[in-house]
């Protein structure tokens, strides 16, 4: 395929994600290295692209120096007048710099013609963090209230709302807020669909350093503790981001993403591709199993294409899938189809499990087992007493689930007739 062809395919494959995100409210946290790094203009460009695709966005920004956020159990740092003066100055300068990036409109700029209005304002009320452990934290503050109605109004008018990590008190003073806390509180107050946190690494990683693409709340907690126990700055930063994500999920936000601030395009990869990038913490039952519909055919085709190519599955055309979609069940994750399987009636007594496929990123997660159990229940409900499976690669997997080796000649006659001797699939059966 040539470059234009690839681009067209890519664009088409992103359509479902574009539709899913349109009209959604996202809160973005830019902090520390995200603000100081060379990749910031690319991040701002990608945020502008999201805005152009109909995503409503509030962007919280901290300081280039990062820090200021205590880990759980750690004492917050006191901020005297001189420190607060520096923070105010830096926050102001950064706000202007980010506004300027959103405003680039020369014909050479990727934002040419985008015309993106950014709003700042006194949306955040703060109170002093107070005296903690005998230490007066002075200008270190806590979020008292977010004016969600005013932010929503701006978002509905097509503006991007920019929130520095500062809050104003009833005494007319300015307090410095922990960026993670502000982002979390803002996301909860706006009942945001997503909180997106940029981190230096590729996301939240396991003990071996491999990035975890999907985390439940319990897994998120364990991962946060592991990351905060490490001494390197990247792990600590990911641990703090995960901490903020956990708070946001508990506050009602459905999904929080940890995305690399160093890698160009990581945000778009996470939001618009099947493979994703970074880590997703979700408070919902993440995998939804349901009968397939005609609109699932493109997703099934995409899922099974590599397995057809390597010979694990027999080829199925779009027309065939459309005709037989009633036999399929699928599992969705984050509005993406990640698993499918079909139950074909062979005769009144026999059903055949076919086309079982799990997205590689979601394997060994029990999804295959869930699909199989659901199709078994469906077969029983239809009065069938035997399940068949013909497979070239998953013989042992079926055996683990109660299937036994059988022979081609024991297949019901109408199925035997269509047995493909060239594929030479193993025949398995299970009494229900």
Ligand X SMILES: CC(C)(COP(=O)(O)OP(=O)(O)OC[C@H]1O[C@@H](n2cnc3c(N)ncnc32)[C@H](O)[C@@H]1OP(=O)(O)O)[C@@H](O)C(=O)NCCC(=O)NCCS
Stretch that binds ligand X, among 31-39, 159-167, 230-238, 362-370 (CB under 6 A): 362-370
The residues pairing with 358 across neighbouring beta strands, listed in sequence order, are: 339
Token pair for 171: 């005494």
Report d(CA 407, CA 429) in Å as an integer: 9
**CA dist 180 → 43, 147, 165, 329 (Å):** 18, 18, 9, 40
Report d(CA 104, CA 194) in Å as an integer: 26
Nearer to ligand X, 191 or 369 (CB): 369
CB of 375 to ligand X, least distance (A): 12
Nearer to ligand X, 25 or 214 (CB): 214
CA atoms within 13 A on the CB side of 332: 15
Q: Does residue number 343 form part of the binding site for ligand X (CB under 6 A)?
A: no
Report 288-307 residues binding ligand X (CB under 6 A).
Answer: 307
Q: Does residue number 336 form part of the binding site for ligand X (CB under 6 A)?
A: no
Q: Does residue number 369 form part of the binding site for ligand X (CB under 6 A)?
A: yes
Contact 91, 166 (CB under 8 A): yes
Q: Does residue number 315 form part of the binding site for ligand X (CB under 6 A)?
A: no
Report d(CA 154, CA 156) in Å as an integer: 5
3-state secondary structure of 191: coil
CB of 311 to ligand X, least distance (A): 10
Contact 379, 432 (CB under 8 A): yes
CA atoms within 13 A on the CB side of 262: 7
Nearer to ligand X, 12 or 363 (CB): 363
Stretch that binds ligand X, among 22-30, 203-211, 292-300, 363-371 (CB under 6 A): 363-371
- By residue count, the chain amounts to 432
CB of 428 to ligand X, least distance (A): 9
CB of 401 to ligand X, least distance (A): 8
Nearer to ligand X, 168 or 397 (CB): 397
CA angle 410, 412, 416 (to 5 degrees): 80
Cα 169 to chain centroid, rounded:
35
Closest residue by Cα to residue 180 from 249, 259, 240, 258: 240
Nearest residue to ligand X, scored by beta-carbon proximity = 368
CB of 277 to ligand X, least distance (A): 21
Q: Does residue number 358 form part of the binding site for ligand X (CB under 6 A)?
A: yes
Q: Does residue number 375 form part of the binding site for ligand X (CB under 6 A)?
A: no
Contact 354, 344 (CB under 8 A): yes
Nearer to ligand X, 145 or 315 (CB): 315
Nearer to ligand X, 77 or 415 (CB): 415
Q: Does residue number 363 form part of the binding site for ligand X (CB under 6 A)?
A: yes
The residues pairing with 127 across neighbouring beta strands, listed in sequence order, are: 142
Q: Does residue number 146 form part of the binding site for ligand X (CB under 6 A)?
A: no
Token pair for 71: 């880990």
**Between 381 and 400, how does the x/- string for binding to ligand X read (CB under 6 A)?**
----------x-xx-xx---
CA angle 6, 12, 13 (to 5 degrees): 90
CB of 16 to ligand X, least distance (A): 21
CB of 364 to ligand X, least distance (A): 5
CB of 425 to ligand X, least distance (A): 8
Q: Which residues in this chain contact ligand X in the complex, by CB under 6 A?
A: 307, 312-313, 356-358, 363-369, 391, 393-394, 396-397
């Amino acid at each position: 395929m040539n470059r234009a062809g690839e681009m067209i395919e890519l664009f088409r494959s992103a359509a479902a994600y574009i539709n899913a995100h349109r009209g959604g409210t996202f809160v973005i946290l830019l902090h520390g290295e995200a603000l100081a790094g060379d990749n910031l203009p690319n991040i701002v460009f990608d945020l502008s692209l999201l805005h152009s695709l109909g995503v409503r966005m509030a962007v919280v920004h901290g300081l280039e120096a990062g820090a200021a956020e205590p880990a759980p159990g750690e004492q917050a740092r006191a901020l005297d007048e001189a420190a607060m003066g520096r923070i105010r100055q830096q926050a102001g300068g950064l706000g202007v710099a980010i506004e300027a990036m959103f405003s680039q409109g020369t014909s050479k700029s990727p934002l040419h013609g985008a015309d993106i209005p950014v709003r700042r304002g006194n949306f955040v009320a703060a109170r002093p963090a107070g005296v903690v452990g005998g230490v007066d934290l002075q200008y270190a503050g806590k979020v008292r209230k977010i004016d969600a109605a005013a932010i929503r109004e701006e978002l509905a008018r097509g503006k991007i709302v920019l929130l520095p990590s500062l809050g104003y008190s009833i005494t007319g003073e300015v307090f410095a807020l922990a960026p993670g806390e502000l982002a979390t509180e803002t996301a909860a107050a706006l009942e945001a669909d997503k909180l997106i946190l940029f981190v230096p690494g590729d996301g939240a990683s396991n003990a071996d350093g491999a990035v975890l693409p999907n985390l439940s709340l319990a897994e998120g907690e364990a991962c946060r503790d592991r990351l905060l126990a490490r001494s390197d700055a990247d792990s600590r930063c990911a641990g703090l981001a995960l901490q903020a994500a956990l708070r946001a999920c508990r506050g009602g936000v459905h999904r929080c993403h940890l995305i690399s601030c160093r890698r160009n395009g990581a945000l778009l990869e996470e939001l618009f591709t099947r493979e994703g990038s970074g880590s997703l913490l979700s408070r919902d039952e993440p995998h939804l199993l349901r009968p397939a519909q005609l609109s699932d055919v493109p997703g099934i085709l995409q899922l099974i294409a590599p397995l057809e190519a390597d010979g694990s599955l027999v080829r199925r055309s779009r027309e065939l899938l459309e005709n037989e979609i009633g036999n399929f069940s699928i599992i969705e994750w984050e509005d993406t189809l990640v698993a499918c399987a079909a139950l074909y009636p062979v005769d009144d007594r026999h059903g055949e499990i076919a086309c079982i496929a799990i997205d590689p990123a979601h394997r060994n997660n029990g999804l295959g087992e869930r699909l199989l159990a659901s199709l078994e229940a469906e077969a029983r409900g239809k009065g069938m007493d035997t399940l068949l499976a013909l497979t070239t690669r998953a013989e042992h997997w079926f055996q683990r689930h109660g299937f036994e080796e059988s022979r081609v000649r024991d297949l019901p006659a109408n199925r035997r007739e269509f047995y493909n001797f060239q594929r030479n699939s193993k025949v398995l059966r299970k009494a229900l």
